[in-house]
Amino acid sequence: MNPSDDKHIGLIAGDGRFPIIFADNVRRLGFTVSAIAHVGSTLPELESHVERIHWLKIGQFSKALAALKHDGVRQAVMLGGIKKTNVFTTLRPDLRTLAIFSRLKHWKDDAILRAVASELEREGIKICDSTFGLEGILADEGYVTTKKPNKKEEADIQFGWETLETLGALDIGQCVIVKNRVIVAVEAVEGTDEAITRGGKLAGKGGIVVKRTKPHQDLRFDLPAIGPQTIQIMIAAQATVLAIEAGRTVILDREEVFALAKNAGISIIGKTAGVQANAADSP
């Protein structure tokens, strides 16, 4: 992170614990945080981790902008997902949001987020990369756990990794479940957790979970994240390996993740685009 003279930052928060962990991290670095939270998506406990919070419904762009300006925010991050299923049920677009949407050629996730970010930046609020302030939280390259995948599992990892490069270009999802070089489940609007659960039902024991950013990912948005719940769902699905992208995947509650994976015999590997891990890599 390049420290800014401005030690106040806005947090446009989606779901999960990622916004909370980010807020705690940047506050330790001396920042104060003003959050835009979304009813039905953002965890209520975020309130106790930020200096200011404004609760809005999805699509209330004008209210969000007014709140950020009122708090003196000139830089912000967009963290945590907004499930498309929530968008279908809780979207309340104001006139400014409808104007943004009217300029879109398609409704791909990145296109929507870029349009929102561009509108904020036109109003003087810079959108920072979602890696901002995440030192020590991003996945490292190589074998994260002491248990390593076997050769068959490594082949499945690589197969899933290459498949996601194609799927990501189509904005379909960031996660697949693989077994015996067959894609048994692809993440869509339901999210990673439900995709893993569905993959477990289809694959049985030994499914491989692969999660990475999309090609040409705009790092301001939608950075992949895993946490203890990811491992717990993998255990229930009898999945044995989790492959994630090094330097671009957030590991929430890191120590708990590693402890759960170790106890369950799950391998976790951090991969870099274009690099295939091998058993000679050190943990």
Same domain, 108 and 148: no
Residue 156 maps to which CATH number?
3.40.140.80
**Inside any domain, residue 137:** no
Residue ending a domain, among 93, 127, 161, is 127
pLDDT(252) > 90: no
Residue ending a domain, among 76, 103, 127, is 127
**Inside any domain, residue 204:** yes
Same domain, 27 and 69: yes
**Inside any domain, residue 2:** no
**What's the pTM value of the predicted model, to 2 decimals?**
0.77
pLDDT class of 124 with cuts at 50, 70, 90: very high
Same domain, 175 and 116: no
**Inside any domain, residue 230:** yes
Instruction: Say which amino acid occupies 176.
Output: V
DSSP line for 143-159 = ESSSS---HHHHHHHHH
By residue range, what is the domain housing residue 217? 142-271
Of all residues in the chain, the percent with pLDDT exceeding 70 is 89
Same domain, 197 and 228: yes
| Structural domains of the chain, count | 2
Cα end-to-end distance, the chain, whole Å:
26
Mind listing the pLDDT tens digit for each residue in 12-69? 998 888 899 899 989 998 999 999 999 988 999 999 999 999 999 988 999 999 999 9
Same domain, 146 and 250: yes
Residue 91 maps to which CATH number?
3.40.50.20
Of all residues in the chain, the percent with pLDDT exceeding 90 is 59
Contact 257, 228 (CB under 8 A): yes
**Inside any domain, residue 135:** no
Same domain, 49 and 79: yes
Mind listing the pLDDT tens digit for each residue in 173-222? 899 999 999 999 999 878 899 999 999 999 999 999 999 998 877 778 77
**Inside any domain, residue 56:** yes
Same domain, 227 and 266: yes
For the chain, the C-alpha Rg in angstroms (whole number) is 19
E strands, 190-272, in order: 208-211, 225-226, 241-245, 250-251, 267-271
pLDDT class of 103 with cuts at 50, 70, 90: confident
Residue ending a domain, among 127, 152, 184, is 127
Element (H, E) at 262: helix 254-264
Cβ-count burial of 279 within 10 angstroms (0-12 exposed, 13-18 middle, 19+ buried)?
exposed
